[in-house]
Amino acid sequence: MTHILHRQIHGTLPVAVAGRGVELFDRDGRAYIDASGGAAVSCLGHGHPDVIGALHEQADRLAYAHTGFFTSEPAEELADMLVANAPTGISHVYFVSGGSEAVEAALKMARQYFVEKGEPQRRAIIARHQSYHGNTLGALAAGGNAMRRAQFQPLLAETQHIEPCYAYRHRRDDESEEEYGLRVAQGLEDKIQELGAETVMAFIAEPVVGATAGAVPAVPGYLKRVREICDRHGVLLILDEVMCGMGRTGTLHACTQDGVAPDLMTIAKGLGGGYQPIGAVLLSQAIFDAFATGSGLFQHGHTYIGHPVACAAALAVQRVIERDGLLENVRTMGERLRSLLAERLGPHPHVGDLRGRGLFLGLEIVEDRATKAPFDPALKLHARIKQAAMARGLLVYPAGGTIDGARGDHVLVAPPFIVEDQDLDRIADRLGTAIDEAV
Ligand code: PLP
| Distance from Cα 246 to the centre of ligand 1, integer Å | 13
| Distance from Cα 142 to the centre of ligand 1, integer Å | 12
Would you say domain 52-323 falls under CATH 3.40.640.10? yes
* 60 burial via Cβ count (<10 Å: 0-12, 13-18, 19+): exposed
Give percent above pLDDT 90 in the chain.
91
d(CA 237, CA 240): 10
Would you say domain 16-47+325-438 falls under CATH 3.90.1150.10? yes
- 388, 438 in Cβ contact below 8 A? yes
pLDDT of residue 402: 67
d(CA 378, CA 8): 17
d(CA 290, CA 395): 45
Please tell me the pTM assigned to this model: 0.98
pLDDT of residue 156: 96
pLDDT of residue 398: 87
- Residue 36 has φ and ψ, to the nearest 5°, of -130, -5
Burial state string for 415-429 with b = 16 or more CB within 10 A and e = fewer than 16: bbbbbeeebbebbbe
Tell the residue nearest (CA) to atom 13 of ligand 1: 99
**14 contact partners, CB below 8 Å, separation of at least 6:** 26, 27, 28, 30
Residue to mutate (ligand 1; options 145, 242, 253, 271; most atoms within 8 A of CB): 242
- 208, 410 in Cβ contact below 8 A? no
pLDDT of residue 403: 67
* Residue 378 DSSP symbol: G
pLDDT of residue 180: 98
| Distance from Cα 362 to the centre of ligand 1, integer Å | 17
| Distance from Cα 269 to the centre of ligand 1, integer Å | 8
For 149-186, the DSSP string reads HGGGGGGSPP-EEE----HHHH--TTS-HHHHHHHHHH
| Distance from Cα 242 to the centre of ligand 1, integer Å | 6
Sheet containing 90-96, strands listed edge to edge, beginning at the edge strand earlier in sequence: 90-96, 279-284, 264-267, 236-240, 200-205, 124-128, 160-162
- 215, 172 in Cβ contact below 8 A? no
Atom of ligand 1 nearest to the CA of 131: 3
User: In this predicted model, what pLDDT tens digit does every residue of 67-110 receive, in sequence order?
Assistant: 999 999 999 999 999 999 999 999 999 999 999 999 999 999 99
**Ranges 51-60, 84-93, 249-258, 371-380: which has the least confidence:** 371-380
- Residue 354 has φ and ψ, to the nearest 5°, of -125, 125
| Distance from Cα 424 to the centre of ligand 1, integer Å | 26
State the first-to-last Cα distance of the chain, in angstroms, to the nearest integer: 32
Is residue 29 left, alpha or beta, with left meaning phi > 0 and alpha meaning psi from -120 to 50?
left
Tell the residue nearest (CA) to atom 5 of ligand 1: 243
User: In this predicted model, what pLDDT tens digit does every residue of 17-49 receive, in sequence order?
Assistant: 999 999 999 999 999 999 999 999 999 999 999
Atom of ligand 1 nearest to the CA of 103: 10
Residue to mutate (ligand 1; options 7, 239, 243, 410; most atoms within 8 A of CB): 243
Atom of ligand 1 nearest to the CA of 139: 10
d(CA 210, CA 360): 9
For 102-139, the DSSP string reads HHHHHHHHHHHHHHHTT-TT--EEEEESS----SSHHH
Residue type, 206: E
**185 contact partners, CB below 8 Å, separation of at least 6:** 165, 222, 225, 226, 229
For 67-102, the DSSP string reads TTT---HHHHHHHHHHHHTSPTTEEEEEEESSHHHH
Give percent above pLDDT 70 in the chain.
98
| Average pLDDT over every residue of 345-364 | 96
CA 402-407-408 angle, 5° bins: 80
The secondary element (H helix, E strand) that includes residue 142 is: helix 137-142
Give residue 378's pLDDT band: very low, low, confident or very high (50, 70, 90): confident
Nearest to 42 by CA among 26, 57, 17, 21: 21
Atom of ligand 1 nearest to the CA of 211: 5
pLDDT of residue 412: 96
pLDDT of residue 312: 98
Tell the residue nearest (CA) to atom 15 of ligand 1: 99
Mean pLDDT of the chain: 96
| Distance from Cα 210 to the centre of ligand 1, integer Å | 9
- Domain range summary for the chain, segments of one domain joined by +: 16-47+325-438, 52-323
Atom of ligand 1 nearest to the CA of 134: 11
Q: For ligand 1, which residues put their CB under 6 angstroms from it? A: 39, 98-100, 103, 132-134, 206, 210-211, 240, 242-243, 268
Check: complex ipTM more than 0.85: yes
Residue to mutate (ligand 1; options 97, 133, 276; most atoms within 8 A of CB): 133
Atom of ligand 1 nearest to the CA of 241: 3
